[in-house]
Amino acid sequence: MKKILFLLVMIALIAGGSVSAGESFTGHISDSKCGAGHSDASAKSISCVKGCVGGGASAVFITEDKTVVKIANQDKVKGHLGHQVKVTGTLKDGTLTIKTLQHLAP
């Protein structure tokens, strides 16, 4: 199932298409400066992500396979910087618009 989901995400990214609003993804919230370098929920990663976003970097979503995805609605990830999350939303033109976000325990 994960391979099929990954394939759908990659096709959507390449084709610039969209994934249905009910599609869910699991990964981490990182920052555009460090990207996939902080794809774990360690205290060090959380601190760095918060510092980078506080310094002007954008929050990004890191998929389980370390793909960096832009986030359209940055306000949805406040309080979840550096955390592992499950999101539901729409992926269009390489940007994820989050509908729901669930923090996953480390």
The CATH number linked to 17 is 2.40.50
Share of the chain above pLDDT 90, in %: 69
pLDDT at 91 over 70: yes
CB-based burial, 57-93: b 16+ in 10 Å, e otherwise: bebbbbbeeebbbbbeeeebbeebbbbbbebebbbee
* pTM beyond 0.75, yes or no: yes
Q: What is the tally of structural domains in the chain?
A: 1
Full residue range of the structural domain in which residue 28 is found: 2-103
pLDDT tens-digit map of 19-59: 444 799 999 999 999 999 987 878 999 999 999 999 999 99
* pLDDT, average across residues 5-29: 66
